[in-house]
Chain A
Amino acid sequence: MSPRTRLAWGLVLLLAAMAASGCATVRPWDRDLLAEKKMRFVPVPLEAAADDHIYFSTEGSTGGMDAAGGGCGCN
């Protein structure tokens, strides 16, 4: 096996490992921990509001910050 093919096979294995482990499905009723307040990117509401305000000012539009249901799969 030449070093080149070995590298290629290594790459295949790496990508296969990534593909196999990349998409985990969290069942809707197992999202209790994900729905907790401390799992937010910015846990402080005031700070989050300020961040949004600055972002919306620079973008010239509002909304679209959250996925529907806030990630708990509620909607």
Chain B
Amino acid sequence: MRRLLAGCLALLVVAMPVSARTAKAPATPPAFSLPTLSGPVSLDSLRGKVVMVDFWASWCEPCRKSFPWMSTLQQRYGPRGFAIVAINLDKSRDAADQFLAEFPAPFLVAFDPVGKTAEAYKVKAMPSGCVIGRDGKILETHAGFDAKRAAAIEAVIAGAVSK
């Protein structure tokens, strides 16, 4: 009886970390092709540019802070070969459109209501993103929006566009 109980406890301990998924972010950016307001966009079509892929949703509070920041980035580095693809993960397009009316985006906004891209990029938090260099390699990944971290990400972008 006692041994059985010990076995049960061991089972519980073993089962816990199994269900807590430990997904590792990919080393190379998974390709995608998604609809935007102005036709489809694919990662391949942006090759040669420094690209920031961002995942967001209308219900995500920190995304309200990251959108103005991304607008600044786009204005500052866009002319030097930088592009942002902000992938929306809302299930309802209406919610996304409402958010965009409130926070105008001067960058590409793609729509992935199923979340396939988020799955491929192993998104762990909202917002999440990564910076991809001109050579198509991931230079930096970030989860969540942190004003302190934002300066470091901008430094990565500034370095990448001047290469």
> Which residues on A are within 8 Å of B, measured CB to CB?
4, 8-9, 11-12, 15-16, 18-20, 22-25, 27-32, 35-36, 69-70, 72-75
Query: Quick one: closest B residue to A9, CB to CB?
Result: B4
The A-contacting residues of B in range 39-97, CB under 8 angstroms, are 55, 57, 59-63, 89-91, 95
> Which residues on B are within 8 Å of A, measured CB to CB?
1, 4-5, 7-8, 11-12, 15-16, 19-21, 55, 57, 59-63, 89-91, 95, 115, 118-119, 123-128, 144-146
Q: Name A's interface SS.
A: helix
B126 touches A15 (CB 8 A): no
Q: Name B's interface SS.
A: loop
Picked from A9, A25, A72, the residue with its CB within 8 Å of the CB of B126 is A72
CB distance from B142 to the nearest CB of A (A): 11
